[in-house]
């Protein structure tokens, strides 16, 4: 600085003559230079400290954003673990408790290259829970232990249970889902050293992280990390986030591996300190860069918001297309059949934008007989709709050939395979006599129909067989005599099922909604849909209803109505 001071002092002496007053006040060129240097140093230190604070805050915000992104990845992984177990439970329940079906279906998720190392099927005899089938490696959790009893009992209430195994020093994580009669339990291995590799470009690539089971960050609760265990716990600038994990939670602790905002932001304070006389220029450049970055971030946020708006529009458009396609696959108008007043409804669900697999159909076989079907293909999408369309026309063709409903279902059961087609189907098929009012139905895993007469409504008890696609099967028919004026109502499960609620409650709502209902079938269906699906059913709903008049002078026909749940 000495050369600079000399130059400045010379310029001051040449431009500012020293007066007596200056001498008294001590205002000399060297003192002025000292003041300038001191002011410059103060400004330099202030700006450097400000830059360091901004960098720290920016780093902390970026760390929080990347931590939330990593948490979203973990949440999706948790869902991918719960889904196979829930699907296995549904298949096991639908097959009526077949351990062979459990072994065959669960084996697709158990093994060295699959999500789980082992799986156990538990059932209750009413008093205790017993394991009835196991596949894969031996579970670390002893089925006779108190922990096993606790896990299975809790899962039987409908909870997705997560349990460290063993509890004090987990080497595996146990997962359990179930219902009041059946529980599926599976174990997934934790790496022996708790260390997992991090792929380049992943949500964790710029972070050091550690995950813990529960809210504690003790080493005993450690699940996974990318650091050697002797470098834990993670220190420094860290972020912590709790992620719902079944009936428990997963605590994610992260720290940046380097400068998340770039090396320039980290180096700015040192640049200001070393630059000194370049304080003003350096501060202006740095401020310009920081403001520009912030504006870019704000512009990016606006762009992202616009993209989300466009995405919402695309979702709405895709949903509209799916509804149009669904309507195209369903009958556009019910036929006119002597002695029958016919009505139907289709209401697309609110939870999905994909096309569903619910359908209904009624056709006249000959002047005296008619046939009908109401079915539901599991899952969503084009594949489910394709199976629905294929099965609808196959059943119609078999019925027109004169086959009985139970024979039709038996033939169809040999054409579908859930392992090959990815879907199974519940369906109620029937044939009716317009002169006698006698209905013959066969049931493949579907909900029982409702018979409404006068002020009474009761569900018809049918012989329920396996859903189509589970395995080739035989079915038994049920004969139902209808009195004149009685209404037969068949529907899919979207009308009655609600999350976290027993299906018996939904069935009770259905029977209660039609007691004392209006006289026409159309008004009865309006009452059903308005009462049970008026708030928006999460799943698709298909309903077919007809009233047998017992006379030849009341041929009623109603056009099919498709309604969208608001």
Count structural domains, the chain. Answer: 2
Across 70-93, average pLDDT: 83
Closest CA to 251 of 60, 62, 70: 70
pTM of structure: 0.44
* C-alpha triplet 215, 221, 222: angle, nearest 5°: 110
The CA-CA-CA angle for residues 91, 448, 559, to 5°, reads 110
Within-domain flag for 66: no
Q: Flag whether pLDDT at 559 surpasses 50.
A: no
Residue 251 lies in a domain: no
Q: CA dist 148 to 145, 184, 289, Å?
A: 5, 12, 59
**Structural domain contains residue 367:** yes
Q: What is the pLDDT of residue 57?
A: 85
Interval 83-99 mean pLDDT: 83
319, 355 Cβ separation under 8 angstroms: no
Q: What is the pLDDT of residues 397-443, one digit of tens each?
A: 999 999 999 999 999 999 888 888 889 999 999 999 999 999 999 99
- The reply to whether 138 falls in a domain is yes
The CATH number of residue 505's host domain is 3.60.40.10
Q: Shortest CA distance to 345 belongs to which of 461, 479, 494?
A: 494
Residue 24: inside a domain: no
Judged by average pLDDT, the poorest of 22-36, 179-193, 204-218, 491-505 is 22-36
pLDDT, average across residues 208-224: 81
Q: Which of these three, 149, 165, 189, is where a domain ends?
A: 189
Identify the pLDDT of residue 105: 86
DSSP3 helix / strand / coil % (the chain, rounded to 5): 40, 25, 35
Q: Is residue 47, in this structure, part of any structural domain at all?
A: no
Question: pLDDT confidence of 305, banded at 50, 70, 90?
Answer: confident
Cβ proximity of 1 and 278 under 8 Å: no
Across the range 177-205, mean pLDDT stands at 81
Domain end, chosen from 157, 189, 221, is at 189
Mean local confidence (pLDDT), 556-562: 42
Question: What is the residue-averaged pLDDT of the chain?
Answer: 80
Which tens digit of pLDDT belongs to each residue from 57-77? 888 888 888 888 888 888 887
Paired strand residues for 455: none
Q: Which long-range contacts (CB under 8 A, 24 or more apart) does 99-103 make?
A: 99/132, 99/133, 101/470, 101/471, 102/133, 102/184, 103/133, 103/135
Closest by Cα among 492, 489, 532, 482 to 508: 532
Report the 3 state secondary structure along 414-451: CCCCHHHHCCCEEEEEEEEECCCCEEEEEEECCCCCEE
* pLDDT value, residue 534: 54
- CA-wise closest residue to 209 among 199, 224, 219, 189: 224
Q: Is residue 270 part of a domain?
A: no
What is the number of alpha carbons within 13 Å of residue 152 lying toward its C-beta?
25
In a 13 Å sphere around the CA of 549, the CA atoms on its Cβ side amount to 16
Place of tokens 């999350």: 499
From residue 10, give the alpha-carbon distance in Å to each of 2, 16, 40, 347. 12, 10, 19, 91
Q: Has residue 221 been placed in a domain?
A: no
Q: Could you tell me the residue range of the domain that residue 549 belongs to? A: 330-562
Distances (CA, A) of 217 to 224, 254, 429: 12, 12, 57
In the predicted model, is pLDDT for residue 282 greater than 70? no
C-beta separation of 273 from 44 below 8 A: yes
Look at residues 128, 157, 189 and tell me which one is the last residue of a structural domain.
Answer: 189
CATH code (residue 147): 3.30.450
Would you call the peptide bond into 233 cis, given omega within 30 degrees of 0 as the criterion?
yes
Model confidence at 492, pLDDT cuts 50, 70, 90, reads very high
* Closest by CA position to 166, among listed 196, 136, 139, 193: 139
Instruction: Give pLDDT tens digits for 152-181.
Output: 999 888 889 998 888 777 888 899 999 988
User: Which residues of 192-348 form beta strands (DSSP E)?
Assistant: 207-213, 222-225, 239-245, 248-256, 340-347
Q: How far is Cα 493 from Cα 467, in angstroms, rounded to an integer?
A: 14
Task: Tell me the pLDDT band of 11, cut-offs 50, 70 and 90.
Answer: very low
What whole-number distance in Å separates Cα of residue 328 and Cα of residue 317? Answer: 17
Cα-trace Rg, the chain: 36
**Higher pLDDT pick, 286 / 437:** 437
- Tell me the C-alpha distance between 391 and 374, whole Å: 11
Q: Is the model more confident about 329 or about 446? A: 446
Determine the Cα–Cα distance for residues 303 and 299; give it in Å rounded to an integer: 6
Confidence class of residue 21 from pLDDT cuts 50, 70 and 90?
very low
């Amino acid at each position: 600085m000495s050369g600079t001071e000399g130059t400045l002092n010379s310029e001051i002496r040449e431009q500012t003559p020293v007066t007596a007053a200056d001498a008294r006040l001590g205002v000399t060129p060297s003192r002025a230079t000292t003041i300038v240097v001191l002011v410059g140093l103060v400004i330099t230190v202030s700006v450097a400290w400000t830059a360091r604070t901004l960098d720290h805050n920016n780093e902390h915000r970026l760390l929080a954003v990347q931590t939330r992104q990593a948490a979203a990845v973990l949440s999706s992984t948790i869902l991918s673990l719960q889904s196979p177990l829930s699907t296995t439970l549904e298949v096991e329940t639908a097959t009526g408790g077949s351990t062979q079906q459990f072994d065959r279906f669960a084996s697709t998720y158990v093994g060295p290259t699959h999500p789980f190392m082992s799986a156990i099927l538990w059932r209750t005899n009413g008093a205790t829970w017993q394991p009835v089938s196991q596949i894969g490696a031996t579970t670390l959790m002893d089925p006779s232990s108190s922990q096993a009893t606790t896990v299975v009992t809790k899962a039987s209430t409908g909870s997705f249970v997560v349990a460290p195994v063993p509890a004090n020093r987990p080497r595996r994580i146990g997962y359990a889902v179930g219902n009041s009669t059946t529980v599926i339990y599976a174990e997934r291995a934790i790496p022996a050293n708790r260390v997992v590799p991090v792929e380049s470009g992943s949500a964790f690539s710029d972070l050091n992280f550690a995950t813990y089971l529960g809210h504690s960050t003790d080493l005993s609760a450690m699940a996974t990390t990318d650091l050697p265990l002797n470098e834990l716990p993670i220190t420094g600038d860290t972020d912590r986030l709790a992620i719902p994990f079944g009936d428990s939670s997963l605590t994610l602790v992260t720290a940046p591996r380097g400068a998340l905002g770039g090396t320039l932001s980290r180096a700015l304070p040192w640049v200001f300190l070393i630059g000194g006389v370049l304080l003003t220029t350096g501060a202006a450049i740095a401020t310009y860069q920081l403001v520009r970055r912030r504006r870019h971030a704000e512009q990016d946020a606006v762009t992202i918001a616009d993209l989300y708006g466009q995405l919402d529009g695309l979702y709405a458009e895709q949903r509209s297309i799916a509804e149009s396609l669904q309507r195209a696959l369903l009958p556009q108008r019910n036929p006119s059949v002597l002695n029958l007043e016919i009505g139907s409804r289709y209401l697309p669900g609110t939870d999905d934008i994909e096309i569903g697999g619910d359908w209904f159909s009624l056709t006249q076989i000959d002047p005296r007989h008619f046939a009908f079907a109401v079915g539901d293909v599991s899952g969503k999408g084009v594949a489910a709709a394709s199976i629905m369309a294929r099965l609808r026309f196959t059943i119609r063709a078999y019925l027109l050939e004169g086959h009985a409903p139970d024979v039709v279902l038996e033939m169809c059961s040999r054409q579908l395979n859930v392992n090959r087609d990815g879907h199974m189907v519940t369906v109620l098929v029937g044939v009716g006599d317009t002169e006698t009012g006698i209905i013959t139905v066969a049931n493949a895993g579907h909900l029982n129909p409702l018979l409404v007469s006068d002020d009474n409504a009761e569900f018809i008890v049918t012989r329920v067989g396996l859903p189509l696609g589970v395995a080739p099967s035989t079915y038994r028919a049920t004969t139902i005599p209808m009195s004149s004026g009685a209404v037969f109502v068949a529907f899919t499960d979207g009308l009655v099922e609600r999350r976290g609620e027993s299906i018996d409650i939904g069935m009770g709502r259905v029977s209660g909604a039609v007691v004392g209902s209006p006289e026409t079938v159309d008004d009865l269906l309006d009452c059903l849909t308005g009462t049970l699906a008026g708030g928006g059913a999460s799943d698709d709903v298909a309903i077919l209803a007809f009233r047998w008049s017992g006379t030849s002078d009341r041929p009623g026909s109603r056009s099919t109505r498709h309604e969208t749940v608001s």
